[in-house]
Amino acid sequence: MIGNRTLAVPGPTNMPPRIASAMAVPLEDHRAPDMADFILPLLADLKQIFRTQTGTVLVFPGSGTGGWEAALRNTLDAGDRVLGASFGQFSMLWMDMCRQLGLNATTIECNWGDAPTIDAYRRVLEADKSHSIKAVLVCQNETATGVTTDVAAIRRMMDDLGHPAMLFVDGVSSIAAIEFNMDAWGVDIAVAGSQKGFMMPTGLAIVGVSERVMQNVQERTGRIYGRSGGCGYWDFATMAEANSTGYFPYTPAMTLLHGLRESVDMLQEEGLDNVFARHNRLAEGVRRAVHGWGLRPCATDPATVSDTVTAIVVGDRHDANAVIRSAYRNYGVSFGGGLGAVTGKVFRIGHLGWLNETMVLQALGGAELAMRDVGIAFEPGSGVGAAVTYFTEQQATSLMAAE
Amino acid sequence: MIGNRTLAVPGPTNMPPRIASAMAVPLEDHRAPDMADFILPLLADLKQIFRTQTGTVLVFPGSGTGGWEAALRNTLDAGDRVLGASFGQFSMLWMDMCRQLGLNATTIECNWGDAPTIDAYRRVLEADKSHSIKAVLVCQNETATGVTTDVAAIRRMMDDLGHPAMLFVDGVSSIAAIEFNMDAWGVDIAVAGSQKGFMMPTGLAIVGVSERVMQNVQERTGRIYGRSGGCGYWDFATMAEANSTGYFPYTPAMTLLHGLRESVDMLQEEGLDNVFARHNRLAEGVRRAVHGWGLRPCATDPATVSDTVTAIVVGDRHDANAVIRSAYRNYGVSFGGGLGAVTGKVFRIGHLGWLNETMVLQALGGAELAMRDVGIAFEPGSGVGAAVTYFTEQQATSLMAAE
Amino acid sequence: MIGNRTLAVPGPTNMPPRIASAMAVPLEDHRAPDMADFILPLLADLKQIFRTQTGTVLVFPGSGTGGWEAALRNTLDAGDRVLGASFGQFSMLWMDMCRQLGLNATTIECNWGDAPTIDAYRRVLEADKSHSIKAVLVCQNETATGVTTDVAAIRRMMDDLGHPAMLFVDGVSSIAAIEFNMDAWGVDIAVAGSQKGFMMPTGLAIVGVSERVMQNVQERTGRIYGRSGGCGYWDFATMAEANSTGYFPYTPAMTLLHGLRESVDMLQEEGLDNVFARHNRLAEGVRRAVHGWGLRPCATDPATVSDTVTAIVVGDRHDANAVIRSAYRNYGVSFGGGLGAVTGKVFRIGHLGWLNETMVLQALGGAELAMRDVGIAFEPGSGVGAAVTYFTEQQATSLMAAE
Amino acid sequence: MIGNRTLAVPGPTNMPPRIASAMAVPLEDHRAPDMADFILPLLADLKQIFRTQTGTVLVFPGSGTGGWEAALRNTLDAGDRVLGASFGQFSMLWMDMCRQLGLNATTIECNWGDAPTIDAYRRVLEADKSHSIKAVLVCQNETATGVTTDVAAIRRMMDDLGHPAMLFVDGVSSIAAIEFNMDAWGVDIAVAGSQKGFMMPTGLAIVGVSERVMQNVQERTGRIYGRSGGCGYWDFATMAEANSTGYFPYTPAMTLLHGLRESVDMLQEEGLDNVFARHNRLAEGVRRAVHGWGLRPCATDPATVSDTVTAIVVGDRHDANAVIRSAYRNYGVSFGGGLGAVTGKVFRIGHLGWLNETMVLQALGGAELAMRDVGIAFEPGSGVGAAVTYFTEQQATSLMAAE
């Protein structure tokens, strides 16, 4: 491919040069006498990204899938009951993992494109008078369909019901991009990955753990399989104990931690609220473009559309995978494919992380090229033009506000 | 600035990751016993980029301006007569340098936006019966206006006249991007820089020298100032002698030479003819976009438009510098400004080097955003759409051709 | 710290510039249409590093500890019996993990500095007439003491006894540095990490799996916890199935995989036998230096000394941690500390990975500086001189051999 | 070569990772609206490195040789008389350049290894009653022999004599490593290069210009060749005028300027006096090692030995180039060769820039290996041991001082 590739998948995202530079360091001794000077502030600052004061953030060499597993193994025993929803590939896979790990999983099945309703969650919890459900699993942002769930509303409903279950959130494609408030929303475990809002390469599972859960795991003694020492690699208690001195129970991925340091610095410099507003603005530009082309998003309810990824339905007469192939082969543009139930029906534009208006326009331009190549009918420039119009209106508003 | 900056100036261009990696090496001893194994093939392969078999290519730590000076100092004495044209900032500056170095410079003055005609050159040379003109200077691609000169035609005209003057070409923003044939066109000295078609950082002046000139400089003995040893830093004979063994007369910029090695490899892998065709295709996309916006290029004659840079006239009611400022400040896009006579009248989109369709669309999208911000009237998406239409037509043609 | 830091710990090792460059790439889509063209040859070539034709090599985002866990979870059920040895921090921790995961672990306890004998393993296996022991765990190179175990001899003994247990090897600090032959030695699972012989940053657990084990895991159906789908993140069957098409069941750490590609290329270019011989030569230089200083290695039996790390006993009147602190603070040199039972008694010089004679001399020089600072008596230069003498004798031998 | 190469030449030096990272940035527009925010502070801070308040520091894409030429062309006319000394390859070449540029050069010839005496300079200047000598050229640190000249003493002598000549200093291998005080020593032009004390790749000529010289060049009008506009590329007045607004008269080498920014930051953080003291300490370690080997430096007078490079005389029975070849081929160590008159008689260890004790020990260890290979008799470890002894004595002194 001649010229830069355009990365428009919902993770990995584009990497800022600052983060690339931060990771381009000589390898080092993770047991160096002064390592704690680096590690302790990093772990403290990560709490600000998760918006938790009482919780703890743990970082494992791994991926988001490992974070899912860590949540389950550290807190649940075989046979324990959990409640979640399946409304896309990733929410579905987390529920599958629950079953594979021997949990008793109740799954709210949704059409892909819909979000699970609060009522759907409420009905199951209300019926659970014995409080057999130990954990409620919520996928804040279903990466496969571009549909979000309202985590705060689920917590409010649980509180209304007085249900004591833990609340676990898959925030892999939302945290550090879409508003997330661990303490305010009463989240017990939140799972993020380095390759999304943190704008880094894959390789770190970043897990927020509430004070309640951390106390529980520290009180375990000698129990095996499921949530005792049996957690092994993902053990919260062992990790937290070593972290408290600024070290790790096994070799940490130091280069990625340097990237994470820079990532957290950048997020704090921009300000999380600004980060969220930017993602919303850029996402809205993409949605205007989709409308401009005469197409529609996979998300059926405008209230649940994702600010980090838009799945675009190409219509029955076209193969979305052909768009993806043309974009990749002819123009070096990577779009996300439809997964599972929506294979061939949608292509996905990721719009999260290190991103601005022109990067969005480049991705939209790439989509126009590829859609033309496969014969999808639309007015060339209509999508980009709609985004340009929206962005400049926003710019004008922001300039007026600044005056 | 959040998100990548968009570099759309006519040099420096975007740098391919491969070249960045090639330069990210530990520093090394330029007098190492095996250095010739690296240097000799590099200098040989550079000849293929200049398309010369009998000439020599020399590489100096410096910039294109240094290459201009090298051409003059190595071949001319104070008072020697030269002929050139001034049709933009850079062609003008080279003629200024001639005068500053004490040469007797005859300059064909053109309106900026026009190219000097072959006839204009012919008239002066025809009148020079005594062959007092020692060198004819041609700027192949005037970076300030996006206007090209037909070097081959000038050589043919000189041959027709039987005029023995040397032919010097400023190929800084053309070589390795627009067709250039040193031997076939009888060019005596050709000047390039690393930061244009070679897709590298600034820092190398790359100079092609014909067999005729090289023989002359090697025959000099002890003459001072102007073209003898007095060339000092830029001395062709000293450089060529050291190069012949694979070394340099003074410390070379080794990291840049590693980048140049990668650059030459990439140009050869793509194939120079493909490089030229790609630049033409991408440039035509930009020109369609300009037309789509209802604007016009600075270049007055479609036959002379540049495939590496387009200067766009914004019209009397608007300040082109405001477009540039908005693009840079609001969207991180760098366009080239109008220089000298066209300051505020044009903004320039560079489209050379490491570039493909979506990178062009990104720059065009940035232009649309900035033009909207400053109130230039056009249909949003009209420029990008015109480019999308052109690129996909070309894609279709290319796919048909491949069948 | 002014000047380069000297990394002389037994992992992470020094990283070759080639590997650093290979990882300095833009992020990319791990589901790209052509990803298999990158992944399939990489996984195939890794088999050559493990020296297996019939086995499979799997790569997980994680660390060596994750590899240990993967071995256990994929093959054993709670209550299953395993046999291993504890002769240093890392062999001890693997046995601890067995117990934490609910396995019935029989541990051969050794003095740190000794290696477990073949006889010790034999006695337990011989007594296990019912073949209740499902897996024998061997730490090929105990990183904490610089002591090796003879894996091939253990396999021969098992074969002699006709014991059907699986043979698992912790090769984290040996594979790609010390001879390892997966097929020839009948190893069922071999665990390596990216940050040792592979000369990379931490972040990949690299696990070799025999044909026998792979068939077993693929035959599992629906069993939970222990070795069924319950393996979750570390599941061999799921990983292998996705790998077979050139993809992964969850997001892979692409940048590290690019580093691994370069690492494997470099190991193959040097040739594994040359890699092993180099490690032996450099290690012997270190041992000569230790002798030159009048000190002794932690390894009590010269037949078991490690070619990747030497633990040096400083004697009762000195604190080895003071050496480590002085080396780090005053000279920027990182040595490994004594862990667990040997804390304060030894400091460790890692000598594996991207290493040559002068890098060893630098580490030895750093040791001399630090030992002087803390008052350990020795003749300055005696250690470096002994290594210089040995290396130049080897050089002379190698030159004679070449004639 | 397996393992890191050891760079022990007197430039290029080792590059700090911070500088490498600082240069690993996307290419950018050198005419960006905010470029002055980067350029002006950089040029101001460079004055602190040259220790000038009234002077100006100019940065050209080029090498130190270009800086030599810039000094001459900007200030002298053909036929002007200059005085200098030839006491090694580089001081000799600068005097050669004077002659090639048509100047009337008086050269103090010295044996290589000796420094020119103040008296030698005085005798010529005293005899120059008519003040025909326009400039006195001093090479502060002769890189070829490791011999320094006392610039301050020459200035004092000139002042004593009341001679009005300008004082030009070749500080290429001294500035930012050995004490240099532009204002206090009354230096008119000082020439440095990026690849020595600045710890960067080659590619920048960094030139300090006194207020007196700057006023003179700004007053020139229209004169040609030698010191008028004829300076062309190296013209001080044009460069300074553009610099005053934060821009350049032609494309600057931006990536190198980012490296220079980091370099200046690092020098300021360490503190110039500490930089000088460190170079002295490390150099003394090398000299102790040479003595330990029973060899002697090329510098004949201990008062003139260089703190940035030591040329080591191997004795008549040995070929210094064989040492260099063995070091490079067998161990990847780059030493400097003997140039011109001392070819084959000396090898040079560069010890400047980004350097500390263990890096020196590595180079000395490499020298021991190579000297053993070619049969030079010495006690292995004697050089390194002498340096270890010296460094630890210094460390003890520094620790005592800190108490």
Instruction: Tell me which chain A residue has its CA closest to the CA of residue C14.
Output: A27
How far is CA B222 from each of CA B229, B294, C238, D96, D340, rounded to the nearest angstrom? Answer: 6, 60, 78, 12, 21
Give the confidence band of D230 by pLDDT, cuts at 50, 70, 90. Answer: low
Q: Which residues of C touch B24 (CB under 8 A)?
A: 17, 20-21, 24
Q: Which residues of D touch A28 (CB under 8 A)?
A: none
Supply the pLDDT for residue B179.
98
Sign of CA dihedral D361, D363, D365, D371: negative
Instruction: Tell me which chain A residue has its CA closest to the CA of residue B373.
Output: A392
pLDDT of A324 strictly over 70: yes
How far is CA B227 from each of CA B213, C289, D223, rounded to the nearest angstrom? Answer: 11, 61, 18
Q: Is the ipTM of this complex over 0.90?
A: yes
Please tell me the distance from the alpha carbon of residue B311 to that of residue D216, in angstroms, as a whole number.
39
User: How many angstroms away from the CA of A298 is the closest CA of chain C?
Assistant: 20
Please tell me the distance from the alpha carbon of residue D133 to that of residue D118, in angstroms, as a whole number.
16
Domain B6-11+271-402: CATH class, spelled out: alpha beta
Instruction: Tell me which chain D residue has its CA closest to the CA of residue A19.
Output: D21
pLDDT of C78 strictly over 60: yes
Work out the average pLDDT over B206-226: 78
Amino acid making up residue B75? T
Please tell me the distance from the alpha carbon of residue A157 to that of residue D217, in angstroms, as a whole number.
80
Of D365, D369, D395, the CB nearest to C365: D365
Supply the pLDDT for residue D139.
98
User: How many angstroms away from the CA of D17 is the closest CA of chain A?
Assistant: 7
pLDDT of D226 strictly over 60: no
How much of chain A, in percent, has pLDDT values that exceed 70? 97
Q: Which residues of A touch C328 (CB under 8 A)?
A: 32-34
pLDDT: is C223 or C41 the higher one? Answer: C41
Buried b (16+ CB within 10 A) or exposed e, B174-197: bbbbbbbbbbebbbbbbbbbbbbb
pLDDT of B224 strictly over 60: no
Task: State the SS3 of C229-293.
Answer: HHHHHHCHHHHHHHHCCCCCCCCCCHHHHHHHHHHHHHHHHHCHHHHHHHHHHHHHHHHHHHHHH
Q: Which residues of A touch C325 (CB under 8 A)?
A: 33
Work out the average pLDDT over D340-349: 95
pLDDT of A227 strictly over 50: no
Of A278, A330, A388, the CB nearest to B369: A388
Determine, for residues C26 and A11 on separate chains, whether the beta-carbon distance falls below 8 Å: no
Q: Which residues of C touch D24 (CB under 8 A)?
A: 24
Give the confidence band of B403 by pLDDT, cuts at 50, 70, 90. Answer: low
Q: How many CB atoms lie within 10 A of CB C10?
A: 27
Determine, for residues B27 and D12 on separate chains, whether the beta-carbon distance falls below 8 Å: yes
Instruction: Tell me which chain D residue has its CA closest to the CA of residue A22.
Output: D21
The pair phi, psi for residue C211, each rounded to 5°, is -60, -40
Determine, for residues C26 and B20 on separate chains, whether the beta-carbon distance falls below 8 Å: no
Q: Which chains touch B (3 or more CB pairs under 8 A)?
A: A, C, D
Residues of chain C whose beta carbon is less than 8 angstroms from a beta carbon of chain D are 1-4, 6, 14, 24, 270, 278, 292, 330-333, 354-359, 361-366, 368-369, 372-373, 379-386, 388-389, 391-392, 395-396
Determine, for residues A331 and B358 on separate chains, whether the beta-carbon distance falls below 8 Å: yes
Instruction: Tell me which chain B residue has its CA closest to the CA of residue D6.
Output: B28
Range in A166-170, A216-220, C218-222, D94-98 the model is least confident about: C218-222
Q: Which residues of C touch B25 (CB under 8 A)?
A: 17, 21
Domain ranges of chain D: 6-12+271-402, 17-269
Give the confidence band of B145 by pLDDT, cuts at 50, 70, 90. Answer: very high
pLDDT of A318 strictly over 50: yes
Work out the average pLDDT over D150-170: 98
Give the confidence band of B397 by pLDDT, cuts at 50, 70, 90. Answer: confident
Please tell me the distance from the alpha carbon of residue C25 to that of residue C5, in angstroms, as a whole number.
25
Supply the pLDDT for residue C403.
64
Amino acid making up residue C211? E
Of A29, A249, A325, the CB nearest to C33: A325
Helix, strand, or coil here: A337? strand
Please tell me the distance from the alpha carbon of residue A93 to that of residue A81, in angstroms, as a whole number.
17
Work out the average pLDDT over D373-390: 98
Supply the pLDDT for residue C239.
96
Q: Which residues of A touch B379 (CB under 8 A)?
A: 385
C51-73 pLDDT, tens digit per residue, is 999 999 999 999 999 999 999 99
Supply the pLDDT for residue A113.
97
pLDDT of D227 strictly over 50: no
User: How many angstroms away from the CA of A153 is the closest CA of chain B?
Assistant: 31
Q: How many degrees, rounded to 5, is the angle at CA C49 between CA C45 and CA C50?
A: 110
pLDDT of D402 strictly over 80: no
What DSSP element (H or E) covers C21?
A: helix C17-23
Q: Which residues of C touch D391 (CB under 8 A)?
A: 369
Supply the pLDDT for residue D403.
64
A:D CB pairs within 8 Å: 16
C324-341 pLDDT, tens digit per residue, is 999 999 999 999 999 998
Supply the pLDDT for residue C365.
98
Of A26, A228, A328, the CB nearest to C32: A328
Supply the pLDDT for residue A403.
64
User: Shortest CA distance to C312 belongs to which of C178, C143, C90, C146?
Assistant: C146
pLDDT of C180 strictly over 50: yes
Which CATH code fits D17-269? Answer: 3.40.640.10
Length of chain A: 403
Supply the pLDDT for residue D231.
80
Strands D147-148, D166-170: pairing is unpaired
User: How many angstroms away from the CA of D7 is the closest CA of chain B?
Assistant: 6
Which CATH code fits D6-12+271-402? Answer: 3.90.1150.10
Greatest pairwise CA separation for chain C in angstroms: 66
Q: Could you tell me the two tokens for D150?
A: 């006392």
Work out the average pLDDT over B144-161: 98
Angle, nearest 10°, between helix axes A357-373 and A382-402?
Answer: 170
Determine, for residues B254 and D9 on separate chains, whether the beta-carbon distance falls below 8 Å: no
A188-198 pLDDT, tens digit per residue, is 999 999 999 99
Determine, for residues C380 and D368 on separate chains, whether the beta-carbon distance falls below 8 Å: no
pLDDT of D224 strictly over 50: no
Instruction: Tell me which chain D residue has its CA closest to the CA of residue B235.
Output: D100
Interface-testing mutation among A362, A389, A394, A399, with chain B (most B C-beta atoms within 10 A): A362
Amino acid making up residue B129? K
Range in A77-81, C291-295, C384-388, D260-264 the model is least confident about: A77-81
Topology given in CATH for the domain delimited by C18-269: Aspartate Aminotransferase; domain 2 (3.40.640)
Please tell me the distance from the alpha carbon of residue A138 to that of residue B109, in angstroms, as a whole number.
72
D389-400 pLDDT, tens digit per residue, is 999 999 888 777
pLDDT of B193 strictly over 60: yes
pTM: 0.96
Supply the pLDDT for residue D89.
96
- Peptide bond before residue A12 is cis, with ω within 30 degrees of 0: yes
pLDDT of D233 strictly over 90: yes
Supply the pLDDT for residue D229.
45
Residues of chain A whose beta carbon is less than 8 angstroms from a beta carbon of chain D are 17, 20-22, 24-26
Helix, strand, or coil here: A162? coil
A228-260 pLDDT, tens digit per residue, is 346 889 999 999 999 999 999 999 999 999 999
Q: Could you tell me the two tokens for C268?
A: 């193959």
